[in-house]
Amino acid sequence: MLAGLPGDRWVTLGTLGVIVLSWTAVTSLGLVSDLFLPGPELLWSGFLDLVQNGYRSRTLWAHAALSLERVLGGFVTGAIIGTLLGLGMGYNRKVEAFFSPFIEFLRPLPQLAYLVLLIVWLGIGETSQIVLLFLTALPVSAVAAMDGVKGTSVLRIQAAQSLGASEWQIFRWVVLPSALHEIFTGARLAIGVVYATLIAAEIIAGSTGLGWMILDAGRFLRSDYVFVGILIIGLMGLGLDRTLLTIERRVVHWAGKA
């Protein structure tokens, strides 16, 4: 992430320092009201407060864990089924033709719009949120897997066939490794979208979780809690993305890259 020469590290830290300093200055000089931009001390005390006393009868970690559960639940199911569907679509033209209009429709569809419909059918609560996240991850993984399969070099498939490999062997040893990079890229994209959607879903239909916490605090203009919540959400999102990246590096390395 901090690529470049060691000298560049100083530039990074330098600009970061400038931001923190100007933020502290602006808030302690009272140039901006607390409601708009709480200062660093306020944020820190807000954070300690949340850690020690929790928020609305649940600890901060409990809220974070609930959000994380929902993300993983929706993402894992959506990514697995989406990838399987995408593999099928990549392999078989008829399967692709059948499913592609639905995938193409679902993919750009703003999640919050059909969350409203899901709430009508499934009510407010965990079910509609998880189904929403599942539907969010599915088309992203499907398209990624499909592209991955289609991108496999024809020459390598033919080479394998000439060596007498079976369909399954070709899939397992030629197509799959080649597609894995795309599948993982798709997974990272999917988890990003799922995560963003989750916060929105908690705001509309939730009563727990980090997104809901920000909504509740926001109603009372408790900017300190709102900011702390945003920072935690951002860091958690970053963590999820980096985790997937690390997993990809190890798995794809394991399977052998070309």
Partner 1 sequence: MKTEELKSASRLDRRDFMRLVATTSGVVAASLASGRLAWAAAKTPGKINAAFFVETKPTMIAKGEGWFEKMGGAKFNWSEVGSGAEINTGMVAGSFDVAFAIGSSPTAAGISQGIAYEVVAMVDNIGPAEDMVVRKAANIKSPADFKGKKIATPFGSTSHFRVLGFLKLNNLSERDVTVLDMNPDVEVAAWHRGDIDAAYVWSPAKAKMLEDGGELFSTYKDLDAHGYVIADLIVARTAFLREYPAAVAGIVKAYGRAVDLWKTKPDEATAIVAKQAGVTEAVAKHDLSEYDFVSLKDQLSSEWLGTPGKPGKFAEVLKRTADFLVQQKSIRSAPAVSAFQKAINTRFIEQALKG
Partner 2 sequence: MVTGAVQGWIRRDGWLSTAAVLAAIGTWELLSSFRFVPPDLLPGPGAVLRAFVYMLHNGYRETTLWGNILATLYRCGAGFFLACVTGIPLGLAMGYNAKIGAAFDYMVQFMRPLPPLSYLILLILWFGTGDKSKIALLYLTAFPIVTSSAMAGVRSVRTQKVQAAQSLGAGGWQTFCYVIFPSALPLIFTGARIALAVAFSTVVAAELMAATNGLGWMVFSASHFLRNDIIILGIIVLGILGILLNRLILMLDGAIVHWRGVE
Q: Binding residues for partner 1, per CB under 8 A? A: 33-36, 49, 53, 55-58, 119-120, 123-125, 207, 215-216, 218-222, 224
The residues, ordered by sequence, that sit 6+ positions from 160 with a Cβ below 8 Å of its Cβ are 169, 170, 173, 174
Q: Specify burial of residue 22 (Cβ count, 10 A radius: 0-12, 13-18, 19+).
A: exposed
Phi-psi region of 128 (alpha: psi -120 to 50; beta: other; left: phi over 0): alpha
Task: Name the DSSP class of 228.
Answer: H
If you write DSSP's letter for every residue of 113-144 in order, what string do you get? Answer: HHHHHHHHHH-SSHHHHHHHHHHHHHHHHHHH
Q: How far is the CB of 53 from partner 1 (least distance, A)?
A: 7
Q: Is 166 in the site for partner 2 (CB under 8 A)?
A: no
Ramachandran angles phi, psi of 33, nearest 5°: -65, 150
Q: C-beta of 112: minimal distance to partner 2 in Å?
A: 5
Give min distance, CB of 165 to partner 2, in A.
Answer: 27
CB of 87 vs partner 1, minimal distance in Å: 38
Q: Does position 205 bind partner 2 by CB under 8 A?
A: no
Can you give the binding site for partner 2, defined by CB under 8 A? Answer: 1-5, 7-9, 11-12, 14-16, 35-36, 93-94, 96-102, 104-114, 116-117, 119-121, 189, 192-193, 195-200, 203-204, 211, 214-215, 218, 221, 223, 226-227, 229-230, 233-234, 236-238, 240-241
